[in-house]
Amino acid sequence: MARFSRSDFTLEGFRRQLAHVDALPQLCVLGLVSGIITGAAMVAFRLLLEAGAVFYMPDGNPEGFEGLPPWLRSLLPIIAVSVLGLLLYRQKATAQKMGVGHVIERLSYHQGRFPMRNWLNQWWVGVVSVLGGLSAGREGPAIHLGAAASSGLGVKLRLPNNSLRVLVACGTAAGISASFNTPVAGVIFAMEVVMMEYTLMSFMPVILASTMAALIAQMVYGNEPAFRIPEVVLGSLMNLPWVIVLGLVVGLLAGLFIHISRNKRMQAWPLWLRLACVGVATGVVAWWFPQVQGIGYDSVAAALNNQLDINVLLALMIAKLLITALTVSGGVPIGIIGPTLVIGAATGALGGILGGWLWPDKASDPGIYAMLGMAAMMGAVLQAPLAALMALLELTHTPHVMLPGMLVVVVACLTSRQLTGCEGFFISSVRYGLHPLQQPLMQALSRVSVPAVMERSLVRTERKVTFEQARKLLETNPVWLIIERSNEEKSVLASKASALARWLLEHDEALDGDAPPDNESVDLLEIPGQRLELAPIGLQATLSEAFVKLQDDALGALYVVHGYRPKRQRISGIITRGAIERYYYYSDPNTRTDPKANDSPV
């Protein structure tokens, strides 16, 4: 197991330890720092929302759209999409990507590295979307800001890419935790939705990050649950069939939401037309039902406490679903978890009211159905049942609702997946096969960086050397010879040092004790033996990156480049297909030899 030692209390030693799969203490340190950074960022983002609301919202409440005049709350979405169109969509298409989907994309295809421009855009886009009256949540910006800030710490310190993956998970969990005071749900969400795996090495640092972020947020906002609800219980077991029916309905609604959000026809419309449709549709509905605007947590609290009329509940279930899906399909980068909780709560409350009409003596309070609807909708849309259940528990502080909650979440997830063909909102764009983060091989190889398994015993040499130089190359008993060909060829080959040793021995025997001429040279490419065509790979790269690069049949191995100045780069080692295969099949630390010997690069 990787442990701290005196030699490791340097940044270079810290990086070297992090390259290994068992660098748990080092990752926990990163988790603590990530939680502090993300917690501070989330407090800043919430304060930014509150500061913006002071200018025109009643009592400075970011969710107080009900107190605005109808004309103003209807005008706000049009202003919001206009601002987005003018400031965001004039930038490059790559700079327009934000939210949870962007986090998963960067983790899947860019080793968890985030562009600074997208991170800066997320601050003001999140504020404009929420305060502009669009149907948007704050959890998407929270996750993006937290994940990118944590990853940026690793990039700044030049940490290996396998640790960046954990930092992204830490930032994701910390963002959820600090934004909604749900530390456990933040951890489960990060592992289930973003990382799409459960490993001990990831869980511990993510838990620490989530804890630290929650503590920082509680120092500012207190430790109160997100919703205050009366004590309610399910009551008679006769409610369980109705709970199953609720799960079926919510699963169908979740499938409808995802299909509309991914509608290809609308995405093909001109940008101005899509933005106009989003702004006008939201403004028209907001004229009569301002509850559809913003995050909607005030509406969730009212639904849980049976304080909303049936017409408002219908508007939240149908209109908010359609408007939120329309906004996503129109290309507006919004958070969708908050709106899904609102839609689910309204659907559950309506189901509870209907159940009360049908079985007045046996039916439970509509508030408990609202809670169940929240969890079911979130679980079905994200295909993340465990994260939805943890969110239900922490948002409501009602542990006895977990039993029916598990039933309704499973039914809703199965209905959305099997009957509507939806595999989750954030991975629904993958049509064939598994998402890269769901592939077991790539998951395993992404947990370790190339320094953990590369062969470090090597020497660099030119193609032609004298006999004396050839013998000196073998003095340190290297395994590989790195042969640098001429500048015109611009290529590097690797040859087994044993082939040179064998050839020298045979050559000496052929001379029968006579010394070779001083001017005679040895062409290392003419010596019999196996040679591998090499390509460079960075010292920070993971084994998954090396594995993908070695799919090129023309390459036999990779040489690991160390250093950040092109003219002063060194070669630290060689990694072959065989080394990757041995790690994958024999990765048990009890049976694997320690590859950290001879850490100094050539």
445 within a domain of the structure (yes/no)? no
Question: Which of 27, 66, 62, 70 has the alpha carbon at shortest distance from 46?
Answer: 62
pLDDT tens digits, one per residue of 390-434? 998 888 888 888 889 999 999 999 999 999 888 888 875 544 455
Instruction: Identify the domain containing residue 279 by its residue range.
Output: 237-430
Question: Is residue 513 located within the same domain as residue 572?
Answer: yes
pLDDT tens digits, one per residue of 106-155? 988 888 999 999 999 999 999 999 999 999 988 899 999 999 999 999 99
CB 103 within 8 A of CB 144: yes
Write the CATH number for 457. 3.10.580
Separation between Cα atoms, residue 476 and residue 418, nearest integer Å: 62
Separation between Cα atoms, residue 4 and residue 256, nearest integer Å: 52
Separation between Cα atoms, residue 480 and residue 459, nearest integer Å: 7
Question: Is residue 171 located within the same domain as residue 35?
Answer: yes
Q: Look at the chain and report how many structural domains it folds into.
A: 3
Question: Is residue 189 located within the same domain as residue 251?
Answer: no
198 within a domain of the structure (yes/no)? yes
The larger pLDDT score, comparing residue 80 to residue 398, is at 80
Lowest-pLDDT range, 152-156, 265-269, 432-436? Answer: 432-436
Q: What is the residue type of 249?
A: V
Question: Is residue 217 located within the same domain as residue 241?
Answer: no
The larger pLDDT score, comparing residue 47 to residue 481, is at 47
CB 323 within 8 A of CB 285: yes
5 within a domain of the structure (yes/no)? no
pLDDT of 8 higher than 80: no
Question: Is residue 69 located within the same domain as residue 163?
Answer: yes
151 within a domain of the structure (yes/no)? yes
Q: How far is CA 352 from CA 76, 207, 313, 322, 404, in A?
A: 34, 36, 12, 22, 14
- pLDDT band at residue 7 using 50, 70 and 90 as cut-offs: low
- % the chain with pLDDT above 90: 48
Question: Is residue 170 located within the same domain as residue 32?
Answer: yes
601 within a domain of the structure (yes/no)? no
Residue at token pair 């509150």: 50
pLDDT confidence of residue 596:
42
DSSP 8-state class, residue 244: H
pLDDT tens digits, one per residue of 589-599? 443 444 444 34
313 within a domain of the structure (yes/no)? yes
Question: Is residue 204 located within the same domain as residue 247?
Answer: no
Question: Is residue 254 located within the same domain as residue 203?
Answer: no
228 within a domain of the structure (yes/no)? no
Residue at token pair 């206009």: 82
pLDDT of 330 higher than 70: yes
Question: Is residue 159 located within the same domain as residue 249?
Answer: no
Where a domain ends, among 399, 430, 461?
A: 430
Write the CATH number for 171. 1.10.3080.10
Question: Is residue 421 located within the same domain as residue 488?
Answer: no
Question: Is residue 421 located within the same domain as residue 458?
Answer: no
Burial (Cβ within 10 Å: 0-12, 13-18, ≥19) of residue 438: middle
Question: Is residue 61 located within the same domain as residue 199?
Answer: yes
Question: Which of 167, 164, 184, 49 has the alpha carbon at shortest distance from 111?
Answer: 164
4 within a domain of the structure (yes/no)? no
Residue 216 CB neighbour total at 10 angstroms: 22
DSSP 8-state class, residue 312: H
